[in-house]
């Protein structure tokens, strides 16, 4: 039997499978703990909107039917909500799928794909899938080093991923930085502005990607219903771009890639401003609390514009991660001593701090 590593695409051999945050059910099985809180994957701690749940219930009787591939009703509502034309919208099974489709459309083997070395891991994965050359730009104080990005642009740069706010650090690219970058990018280079955490940002220096679409035809803005809208389990993301780019996406997009429950849930969630406001209030209150407590515990952290905080532990994030698991708390460890902690409801935040104090006292 032929060794499959000899016949698979060479670029695939470079990929390490994406490892998601540890699921609640897995922790229950491993540790025999029933009361689990997950602060690892930046999910909305309030869950989905009640309106979204009502919409799902109405659609359950139609599960024998294929979903509407054009995403007609959500497309219409989102067009009105964002003040963009309907033919500028694309939808995916999460924004991850759109990132891969974009790479498949524009990147030939040997083309360069640029992104931060400390950003969303999927950028690296989709680059390898299509045989692109990853150009990873080192971060500067946990932020995108835009000057370095500009320096590394070349005639081979086909695609650039900019995560804003950035995951996992929670930092932002400012208007000035973004505008300077776009002024230096060739029209033949596609720029993907990943705004998965857009709704959490209230900094006046933050650039709203949609406002730049009329000026830059090579810009694609990605957003999602997974985060603030609380629909991560249904997997629905969307993009806004020039209609010609959307047309190319539709050529390679799998039929029925957005399921019917996701479509109706997103449609109803879009109407629930009360849920969004409540989520933001809880997040902002929780963020202030955690920052204050981290300072008391002398835990270094990066100032965040999102619903998570990037922290540094003195004695290794893996150790802290495993100790917290024993207490029924899931966080997301990263390299060396770093970890990403999702901001939860206040009782969850307090429970986290209580257990962290015990661990650090050891």
* Per-residue model confidence (pLDDT) at position 362: 77
Please check whether residues 241 and 344 belong to one and the same domain. no
pLDDT at 5: 74
How distant is the alpha carbon of residue 87 from its chain centre? Answer: 24
pLDDT at 242 over 90: yes
Average of per-residue pLDDT values in the chain: 95
Answer yes or no: is 2 within a domain. Answer: no
Q: How many angstroms separate the Cα of 120 from the Cα of each of 4, 241, 267, 275, 354?
A: 29, 21, 27, 27, 30
Q: Does the residue 323 lie in any domain?
A: yes
Strand partners, 240: 89, 221
Q: Has residue 7 been placed in a domain?
A: no
> Mean pLDDT over residues 204-227, rounded?
98
Nearest-angstrom CA–CA distance, 113 and 107: 8
pLDDT for 2: 63
Domain shared by 134 and 34, yes or no: no
Total residues found in the chain within this entry: 362
Average pLDDT over residues 148-161: 98
Q: What value does the mean pLDDT take over residues 179-187? A: 98
Q: Are residues 80 and 214 in the same domain?
A: yes
C-alpha 143/C-alpha 146 separation (Å) is 9
The answer as to whether 171 is a domain residue is: yes
Number of CB atoms found within 10 A of residue 61's CB = 8
Q: Is the pLDDT of residue 45 over 60?
A: yes
Do 33 and 81 fall into the same domain? Answer: no
Quote the radius of gyration of the chain (alpha carbons, Å).
Answer: 21
State the pLDDT at residue 25.
82
Over pLDDT 90: what percentage of the chain?
88
**Final residue belonging to a domain, choices 209, 234, 269:** 269
Element (H, E) at 338: strand 338-342
CATH number at 287 reads: 3.90.1150.10
Residues 176, 205 contacting (CB under 8 angstroms)? yes
In a domain, 144, yes or no: yes
> What is the pLDDT confidence band of residue 204, given thresholds at 50, 70 and 90?
very high
> What pLDDT digit, counting tens, does each position of 310-347 carry?
999 987 889 999 999 999 999 999 988 999 999 999 99
The residue among 250, 255, 252 whose CA lies nearest residue 130 is 252
Domain of 170, in residue numbers: 50-269
204 and 351 co-located in one domain: no
Domain's final residue, options 231, 249, 269: 269
Same domain membership, residue 38 and residue 170: no
Residue 20 has pLDDT above 80, yes or no: no
The answer to whether position 261 is within a domain reads yes
pLDDT at 198 over 90: yes
- In a domain? residue 5: no
**Residue 79 and residue 213 in one domain:** yes
Phi, psi of 170, rounded to the nearest 5 degrees? 80, 5
Query: Quick one: 196 and 282 in the same domain?
Result: no
256 and 280: one domain?
Answer: no
Residue 173's pLDDT is what? 98
Is the model's pLDDT at 21 over the cut of 80?
Answer: no
Q: Which one of 206, 239, 269 terminates a domain?
A: 269
Q: How many independent structural domains does the chain possess?
A: 2
- Written as one string, the DSSP assignment of 60-128 is GGGTTSPP-TT-HHHHHHHHHHHT--GGGEEEESSHHHHHHHHHHHHPPTT-EEEEESSS-THHHHHHH
Residues 184 and 36 occupy one common structural domain: no
Is 218 inside any structural domain? Answer: yes
Compute the average pLDDT of residues 197-201.
Answer: 98
Q: Which residue has the higher pLDDT, 6 or 106?
A: 106
Average pLDDT over every residue of 246-254:
95
In this model, does residue 71 exceed pLDDT 90? yes
Helix boundaries (H) for the chain: 24-31, 50-59, 72-82, 95-106, 122-129, 146-152, 175-184, 243-252, 260-269, 273-296, 317-326, 346-361
One domain, residues 264 and 347: no
- Residues 233, 287, single domain; the answer is no
Is pLDDT above 60 for 223?
yes
């Amino acid at each position: 039997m032929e060794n499959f590593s000899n016949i698979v695409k060479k670029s695939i051999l470079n990929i390490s499978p994406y490892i998601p945050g540890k699921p609640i059910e897995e922790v229950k099985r491993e540790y025999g703990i029933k009361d689990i809180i997950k602060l690892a994957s930046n999910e909305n701690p309030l869950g989905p909107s009640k309106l979204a749940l009502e919409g799902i219930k109405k659609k359950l009787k139609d599960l024998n039917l294929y979903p509407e591939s054009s995403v007609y009703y959500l497309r219409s509502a989102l067009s009105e909500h964002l003040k963009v034309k309907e033919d500028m919208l694309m939808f995916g099974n999460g924004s991850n799928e759109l990132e891969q489709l974009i790479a498949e459309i524009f990147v030939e083997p040997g083309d360069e794909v640029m992104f931060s070395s400390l950003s969303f891991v999927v950028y690296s994965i989709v680059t390898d899938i299509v045989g692109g050359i990853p150009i990873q730009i080192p971060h500067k104080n946990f932020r995108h080093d835009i000057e370095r990005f500009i320096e590394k642009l070349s005639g081979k740069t086909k695609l650039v991923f900019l995560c804003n706010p950035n995951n996992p650090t929670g930092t932002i690219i400012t208007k000035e930085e973004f505008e300077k970058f776009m002024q230096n990018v060739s029209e033949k280079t596609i720029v993907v502005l990943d705004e998965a955490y857009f709704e959490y940002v209230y900094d006046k220096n933050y650039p709203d990607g949609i406002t730049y679409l009329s000026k830059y035809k090579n810009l694609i803005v990605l957003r999602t219903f997974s985060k603030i809208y609380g629909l991560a389990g249904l997997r629905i993301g969307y993009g806004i771009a020039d209609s010609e780019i959307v047309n190319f996406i539709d050529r390679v997009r799998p039929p029925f890639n957005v399921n019917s429950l996701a479509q109706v849930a997103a449609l109803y969630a879009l109407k629930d401003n009360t849920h969004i406001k409540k989520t933001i209030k809880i997040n902002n209150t929780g963020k202030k609390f955690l920052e204050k407590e981290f300072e008391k515990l002398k835990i270094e952290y990066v100032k965040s514009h999102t619903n998570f905080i990037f922290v540094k532990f003195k004695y290794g994030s893996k150790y802290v991660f495993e100790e917290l698991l024993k207490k029924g708390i899931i966080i997301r460890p990263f390299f060396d001593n770093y970890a990403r902690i999702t901001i939860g409801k206040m009782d969850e935040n307090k429970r986290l701090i209580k257990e962290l104090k015990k661990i650090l006292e050891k």
